[in-house]
Structure 1
Amino acid sequence: MKELTSAEEQVMQLLWQLKEAIVKDIIVKMPEPKPAYNTVSTVVRVLEGKGVVGHKAYGNSHVYFPLIKEEDYRKFAFEKLLKSYFGNSYKNLVSYLVKENKLNLSELAELILVAERSRNKDK
């Protein structure tokens, strides 16, 4: 799977939400200031080139739809982040989150409980 730019991720988020859409449908869902039609159309065509978006043609109109699941891309992006920034270590990731006050001790304790339940369920 190929990494997406932030603009491509934004369009994919909307396509996952909409299931299928024409370019105008995507633009309507975008926040202000809305990008130009040609800009969004170009991003969608790049996504097609990357193999993550497909389309159905209806005359001159194209209806676009995701070819990959949101969960699959989320897993890919997370694994890349974990490897690139945290040495592929969950310990380093959690340490960072605690240190930066993104995760407090009660949330950390809750994560430990979830992990223990998951491990017990797998046995």
Structure 2
Amino acid sequence: MQKLTNKEEEIMHILWTLEKAFVKEIAAAITTEKPHYNTLSTIVRNLEEKGYVSHHTFGNTHQYYPLISKEAYRKPFMNTAIENYFNSSYKNMVSFFAKEEKISAEELREIIEMIEKNK
């Protein structure tokens, strides 16, 4: 699976949320600096060429929808990030977030409960 650019990822997040959308609906959902309509349309077509989205045709317009789920996209890149930044150690990753105060003790207890339930 090919890594997407930041703008492509932003558009995929919008499509994952909306589930299907025309380019004008994607543009309306962008919260950062909005690209020109033609630029956005090109980005969406690139996503289609890469196999991330497809479309239904309605006259002269296309309604796009994701072919790849957020979870399917996230998994290989999370694994790579953990390998590259945390020496393939989930313990190092969790301790990093604890030190950065991005995860609470309560959340850690919930994670421990989930792990113990899966044993």
Please, what TM-score do these two structures have when normalized by structure 2?
A: 0.87
Q: Identity over aligned residues, as a percent? A: 46
- Find the counterpart in structure 2 of residue 112 from structure 1: 112
- RMSD across aligned C-alpha pairs, in angstroms? 1.6
CA distance in 2, matches of 1:37, 1:66: 19
1:35-62 per-residue CA deviation (whole Å, 9 max, x = no partner) reads: 2112211210111121101122233211
CA distance in 2, matches of 1:107, 1:20: 33
Could you list the structure 1 runs, at least 4 aligned residues long, displaced by more than 6 angstroms after superposition: none
Could you tell me which runs of 5 or more consecutive residues in structure 2 were left unpaired when the two chains were aligned. none
Aligned length: 119
1:65-91 per-residue CA deviation (whole Å, 9 max, x = no partner) reads: 111112211222322221221122111
Q: Which moved more, 1:107-116 or 1:5-14?
A: 107-116
| Alpha carbons of structure 1 residues 71 and 38: separation in structure 2 relative to 1, 3 Å | same
CA distance in 2, matches of 1:103, 1:18: 28
Q: Does 1:43 align with 2:43?
A: yes
CA distance in 1, matches of 2:9, 2:33: 17
Q: Does 1:16 align with 2:32?
A: no
Letter of the structure 2 residue corresponding to residue 107 of structure 1: E
Please, what TM-score do these two structures have when normalized by structure 1?
A: 0.85
CA distance in 1, matches of 2:33, 2:100: 32
What is the DSSP-based 3-state SS (H/G/I as helix, E as strand, rest coil) of the residue aligned with 1:63? strand
